[in-house]
Structure 1
Amino acid sequence: MSRLHTPARDDVSEATQGILDAVGAQFGFVPNMFATLASNPTVLDVVVGLQTSLSRVLDAKTRHTIALAVSQANECDYCVAAHSFVSSELGGMSSDDIDLARAGSSVDPRRAAVARFAQQVVESRGRVSDADLAAVRGAGYTDPQILAIVTVAVQALLTNFINNVNRTDVDIPAVTPAGTPG
């Protein structure tokens, strides 16, 4: 059960309702995370704004791969479910590629390097090794792209932390744990 207050739709401002409507149009429903964030309209605006801004860095499958790798490494059940749903339904990723991303890999060698690097960012708290940087550069990523990778990873961590603190009720189709038959 979620631990933070989720306001009723009628208890939030029209501006906040508009943000929730836009989120709902994208997903087909308003995910519990966004409904909870509506209790603090500034935080809702920051999270949605950050996600919108970061949709312009890297390609969608790379961003999804990062979010899946980070969410799995950070053991955020809600975000794993959400990013698996979005990656499959909106991002065109196969179930195999979603499972690989959660495990820090990909069917695509470049995205596999990004997934490994993103997990290293999380596990090392940003103190990646020279070898980690060399590996992601060796996959063809430039320093500006590495900055984007780190920023997308941190955005995923932000929502991981919010959902882990809240223990947000998963209202998104659940996924099987990585490495188990589905």
Structure 2
Amino acid sequence: MRTFNVPTRDEVSVESQQLFDALEKKLGMVPNLYASIGYSGNALASYLTFQDAQAQGTFNAKQREAVNLVVSQVNGCTYCQAAHTTLGKMNGFTEEETIALRQGRSSDAKLNAIVGLAKSLVENRGRASEDKVEEFLAQGYDQAALVDLVALVASKTLANYVHNLFDFAIDFPEAQPLEEAINA
């Protein structure tokens, strides 16, 4: 299979260079995921805008990280598992909670409904199991929240697919493989 390098600032379009500069200023680095999406300035701009818009939606940062963890696990994206384990901990999750979330479960009823439905959406290509939809709605969420959840799943799936296709290096502390974490 062809090997793709993570592009440097000098190897991308002017549009991507400006986004790289903004990311460097905001994060102190340009994560390999964003750099690789930056092969297309349009895709990177769209992705970052979509992420920012979702931050204004139904779910808070901790809930979004829970979705990111389970979607990345189901999609087999080790890069995003690592990134969102780190970000999840920064948002208050313990290591054990990040592992449970990657499995699609939580001891918190609302989070359990969110990650259970997100997992079902990914596993069933959008045709979530009826019981997971009902569990989600029973937690007080409405149709707007349902669409916001689909948007989060879609956003993270894009990132997962970019990594799975390009297979670039993970620039976060690696997440423990789920099988090892469960047996530990």
From the superposition, tell whether residues 88 and 28 of structure 1 become closer, same or farther in structure 2 (CA, over 3 Å).
farther
Look up the SS of the partner of 2:161 in the other structure: helix
Pairing 1:82–2:86 present: no
The alignment partner of 1:180 has SS state of: helix
Query: Paired residue for 1:101?
Result: 101
Q: Is the 8 A contact 1:79 1:160 kept in 2?
A: yes
Match of 1:65 in 2: 66
The residue that corresponds to 2:23 in the other structure is: 23
Q: 1:2 to 1:93 in 2, by over 3 A?
A: farther
Matched, 1:165 2:165: yes
Q: Within the alignment, does 1:142 sit opposite 2:151 as a pair?
A: no
Question: Which residue of the partner structure matches residue 41 of structure 2?
Answer: 41
Query: Over residues 121-144 of structure 1, what are the superposed CA-to-partner deviations in whole Å (9 max), with x where a residue is unaligned?
Result: 001101123222111111221111
**Which residue in 1 is equivalent to 2:154?**
154
What are the ranges of 5 or more consecutive residues in structure 2 without an aligned counterpart?
Answer: none
Residue 59 of structure 1 and its aligned partner are, at CA, apart by 0.8
Count of matched residue positions in the alignment of Structure 1 and Structure 2:
181
Q: Once superposed, which parts of structure 1, at least 4 consecutive aligned residues long, lie more than 6 Å away? A: none
8 A contact 2:70–2:101 mirrored in 1: yes
CA contact (8 A) 1:6 1:38 kept: no
Counterpart residue type for residue 175 of structure 2: V
Tell me by how many angstroms 1:5 deviates: 4.2
- Is the CA contact (8 Å cut-off) linking 1:72 and 1:102 kept in structure 2? yes
AA aligned to 2:169 is D
* 1:174 counterpart residue number: 174
Q: What are the Cα deviations for residues 97-120 of structure 1, in whole angstroms up to 9, with x where unaligned?
A: 211111101232101111010000
- How far off is 1:12 after superposition? 3.2
For structure 1, the residue ranges without an aligned partner over 5 or more in a row are none
Counterparts of 2:180 and 2:40, CA distance in 1: 37
Q: TM-score, normalised by structure 1?
A: 0.90
Rounded Cα–Cα distance in structure 1 between residues aligned with 2:147 and 2:97: 24
- The offset of 1:14, in angstroms, is 4.6
Q: Give the counterpart letter for 1:7 in structure 2.
A: P
Q: In 1, Cα distance between the equivalents of 2:101 and 2:39?
A: 32
- Preserved contact between residue 9 and residue 17 of structure 2 (Cα < 8 Å): yes
Measure how far apart 1:163 and its partner are.
Answer: 0.8
Q: What is the Cα deviation at residue 173 of structure 1?
A: 0.8
CA offset digits 1:16-53 (Å, max 9, x no partner) = 22312332344332111111222211111111111111
Distance, in Å, in 2 between the alignment partners of 1:87 and 1:21 is 25
Q: Percent sequence identity over matched residues?
A: 29
Q: Does 1:119 align with 2:107?
A: no
After TM superposition, the score normalised by the length of structure 2 is 0.89
Question: How far apart, in 1, do the equivalents of 2:2 and 2:104 lie?
Answer: 28
